[in-house]
Amino acid sequence: MIRSLLAVLLLLAACRSGREYVAPRASTAELTYQAILADGSRGVAEEDEALWACELGTAAMMVRREHEAWEAFHMASRTMGTLESTPSESRRAILGAESTKRWKGDPHERCMAAYYKGILYWRRGDLDNAAACFKSGLFADSYSEVGEHQVDFAALSFLLGWVSWIRGQDEQARFSFQEAAQHAPENLLFDDPAPRDHNVLAILEVGQGPRKVRRGAYGSMASYQDIPTSAAAVEIRVDGVSQGVSALATDLFHQATTRGKKTIDGIRKGKAVFKAASTTAGIVMINRGARDDNAGLVLAGAGALLAGALTNASADVRYWTLLPAEIQFLPLRLAPGMHEVDVIVLDQSHRPIPGWKKTFRCRVEERPGQLWWFRMQPGLRVYGLTDRPEGN
């Protein structure tokens, strides 16, 4: 009888937690993109829509579908742009599983959504909205821990500085470059970025972003794990001539782990304590009630057990799996015309990793502020957006 009751309660609890969305991964970006799209056509739960859109947007960038990527990030930003919640959504997430709330990402994920959307605006020539996105990303970072880690997303500051310079806003550019230098002092590029001396800015993303996992009693705590990679930096050679090695601007594991404490962490901790206490009390009361032939105590124990079983203390560990580990930059000064651009991935000692390189045929135009984006993916793959997107 008691076993049957427990089984029913566990089933109920499991039903309430629902399925948590995890984006499919495949061997190539194209297959990953297609698999994420297929997920969408099968229907993604409303609470996972923004996460799905972020994954789709990143995959779309890797397969050079810039407009689709922009649309995906635009869709995601409608949810991620506000941290408001409806009363019923709050109730569900507090009393039930946290993962029933709409995914809006942690601060570093909201920064990254704004960063990608800004890049896509920039590449289509809409510098006003690119700057707006970088500002929005920096604003999202202000939700990180108060103190030295607040608004320390140097990559966004640097991009805002560069785009501001192109727009002729020298004062904003100077301020943003100073901010970038302050938050990434080891990056010598930030000391003197000199956008007027370069006509192409290369963004290089390396490694896999941090993995979000559960830990603690009943998985009530969420934390991030770093995923090691052999890639440390990237060298760019143009027509066989080295243009230098990229420098680190933002480490996403650092960003993810300096987000500070959240109110919901305390709520989950309280739920874990309640779950443990009511389960223990329920078992004790049922045992004692059965021993003393006390039906009332058995019923009360069953109630406590039910309350424990229905309490879902699990942390929401949905996370953006296609994020990189690091954002790096390398400004270039290139003659207008067609070039052979070799993107060579380097290890910790700045030696090329055998087989991890790709050559792109790129057109450089006679204008400042061209933006190239490269992504180094596991499996020795390199993806890139170089030439201007069609229609611009």
Residues 6+ apart with CB under 8 A from 94: 267
Select 355 or 391, whichever has its Cβ closest to other proteins.
391
User: Site residues for other proteins, window 306-335 (CB under 8 A)?
Assistant: 306-307, 310
Please report whether residue 15 would count as binding other proteins according to CB under 8 A.
yes
- Among the listed residues 217, 267, 283, 290, the single contact to other proteins using CB under 8 A: 267
The reply on whether position 358 binds other proteins by CB under 8 A is no
Task: Print the binding letters for residues 127-146 with other proteins: x by CB under 8 A, - otherwise.
Answer: -xx-xxx-xx--x--xx---
Segment interacting with other proteins, rule: CB under 8 A, options 11-19, 324-332, 340-348, 379-387: 11-19
What does DSSP say about strands 241-245 and 233-238: parallel, antiparallel, or unpaired? antiparallel
Region 24-63 residues binding other proteins, contact defined as CB under 8 A = none
Q: Interface with other proteins includes 286 (CB under 8 A)?
A: no
Element (H, E) at 390: none
Residue whose CB is less far from other proteins, 88 or 349: 88
- Tokens representing 37 are 């799209």
Cα separations in angstroms, 325 against 81, 185, 329:
23, 19, 14
Work out the number of other CB atoms within 10 angstroms of the CB of residue 197.
Answer: 10
Binding status of residue 300 toward other proteins by CB under 8 A: no
Largest CA distance in the chain: 91
- Please state the closest distance from residue 79 (CB atom) to other proteins, in A: 8
Residues 83-122 that bind other proteins (CB under 8 A): 83-86, 88-96, 98, 100-101, 104, 117, 121
Q: Which two tokens stand for residue 22?
A: 């995890």
Question: Which H or E run includes 64?
Answer: none
For 111-132, the DSSP string reads: HHHHHHHHHHHHHTT-HHHHHH
Out of 213, 264, 283, 290, point to the residue binding other proteins (CB under 8 A).
Answer: 264
Length of the chain equals 392
When the beta carbons of 196 and 261 are compared against other proteins, the nearer one is: 261
Region near other proteins per CB under 8 A, out of 59-67, 198-206, 257-265, 381-389:
257-265
Pairing between β-strand 247-251 and β-strand 241-245 as defined by DSSP bridges: unpaired
Strands 370-377 and 233-238: unpaired
Nearer to other proteins, 16 or 237 (CB): 16
The interface region with other proteins, picked from 75-83, 329-337, 354-362, 373-381 by CB under 8 A, is: 75-83
Residue with tokens 């709050």: 90
Binds other proteins (CB under 8 A): choice among 4, 41, 263, 348: 263
Is 277 among the residues that bind other proteins (CB under 8 A)? no
* Whole-number Å distance between alpha carbons of 340 and 309: 62
Helix H segments across the chain? 2-17, 29-42, 49-62, 66-80, 87-95, 107-123, 127-141, 154-166, 170-183, 252-256, 263-292, 295-310
Binding site for other proteins (CB under 8 A): 12, 15-16, 77, 81-86, 88-96, 98, 100-101, 104, 117, 121, 125-126, 128-129, 131-133, 135-136, 139, 142-143, 262-264, 267, 303, 306-307, 310
